[in-house]
Amino acid sequence: MTAYKRALSRRLRRRLAVVGTITAGGLLLAACGGSDMEGMDHGSGSSASATSTQSAGENPAPGTFNDADVSFAQMMIPHHEQALEMAKLADGRASDADIKTLAADIEKAQDPEIQTMKSWLKAWGKPESAEESMPGMDHGSGGMDDSQMSGMMSDEDMKKLEAAKGTEFDRMFAEMMIEHHKGAITMAKDEQKNGRNATAKKLAADVVKTQSAEVEKFEKILDRL
């Protein structure tokens, strides 16, 4: 019995040693992994990483981003929101079929883009409002200031549009949307030139293409109204 107990004790010690080695290895890997994550550059500014703790599949705008990318999203969101507000006024006021179609197209395209840009800012750890980050932003390195967010309608403009109906609304809507779209195109081209994030620059290219085409359609409508 004594010899049997000694053999059993040796086997038990060997088994515990193996388990201990595996456990220690697992803890070491976990520690290394945690250390790597803690040391990642979540960053901000001109060379920030948007990967953060999210995987590439979860991040809506993976890769690096800079101030121009952040400004593009922060400024384009309210710009798009006003376009949606204008487009919704067409319901019950517009009389031209093409105006109605374009208003619907604007709503269909720009509402999803607003949600997309909001998701970028959340992933980048940036506020949705440009005013919250303006004080520390370096506009000289690619960021946009308020004067560059062109094409925005004033409160008075919006009231006039809301009060118009029929052909008067159609003409006013086309004229205002042309100006509004041209402002968005300017902002998008600025992003194409100064931005760093590939996803943001792709959306900017889409804005330039889509809204340039819509400007041409509005101009043709004005020619026949």
- Measure the CA–CA gap between 202 and 207, rounded to whole angstroms: 9
Q: For residue 183, which of 161, 206, 207, 219 has the smallest C-alpha distance? A: 207
pLDDT in tens, 169-213: 999 999 999 999 999 999 999 999 999 999 999 999 999 999 999
Whether residue 199 contacts residue 63, with contact meaning beta carbons closer than 8 Å, is answered with: yes
Q: Which pLDDT band, with edges at 50, 70 and 90, does 29 fall under?
A: very low
pLDDT in tens, 86-127: 999 999 999 999 999 999 999 999 999 999 999 999 999 999
Question: What is the average pLDDT score of the chain?
Answer: 78
- Measure the CA–CA gap between 17 and 198, rounded to whole angstroms: 51
Burial 176-199 (b: 16+ CB within 10 A, else e): bbbbbbebbbbbbebbbebbbbeb
Domain boundaries defined on the chain = 2-39, 46-224
pLDDT in tens, 145-157: 444 468 999 999 9
Q: What is the DSSP letter of 46?
A: G
Is the pLDDT at 25 greater than 90? The verdict is no
Q: What's the CATH architecture for 46-224?
A: Up-down Bundle (1.20)
What SS3 state is found at 67? helix
* pLDDT attached to residue 46: 43
CA-CA-CA-CA dihedral for 185, 187, 188, 194, to nearest 10? 140
- Measure the CA–CA gap between 142 and 97, rounded to whole angstroms: 41
Q: Which pLDDT band, with edges at 50, 70 and 90, does 48 fall under?
A: low
Is the pLDDT at 19 greater than 90? The verdict is no
Q: What is the mean pLDDT of residues 35-51?
A: 41
